[in-house]
Amino acid sequence: QVQLVESGGGLVQPGGSLTLSCTASGTSFSGWPMAWYRQAQDDERELVATITVGSTPYYKNAVKGRFTISRDNAKNTVTLQKNSLQPADTAVYYCNKVSNLWPWGQGTQVTVSS
């Protein structure tokens, strides 16, 4: 049974930074393109960033230049570094594969507010 665990969220002021981490039990990330998603209250879950097996990133336009996705296959970890946070970034953040998704983890809440 695959279990995804996201961590690192919290309350931050506009312009602040957070680093989110994702680990998994029951599987390895190493052979899969991975992604971070987010879901704001009353909105659908959306793709934020992806990273290929070879560590090539892709970003949603709204976060390009502010977020950085990375992976450490040896540690089975995918990380999302978030800078210059804005209130519109407030959401629950999840990690998962790009396709053929595993069961969703609980996510980690990010709240950007003054």
Using the predicted structure, report yes or no on whether residue 105 has a pLDDT greater than 90: yes
Mean pLDDT of the chain: 96
Q: What is the pLDDT of residues 48-94, one digit of tens each?
A: 999 999 999 999 999 999 999 999 999 999 999 999 999 999 999 99
DSSP per-residue string spanning 50-96: EE-TT--EEE-GGGTTTEEEEEEGGGTEEEEEE-S--GGG-EEEEEE
- Tell whether the model's pLDDT for residue 1 goes beyond 90: no
- 105-110 average pLDDT score: 98
Would you state the pLDDT for residue 23? 96
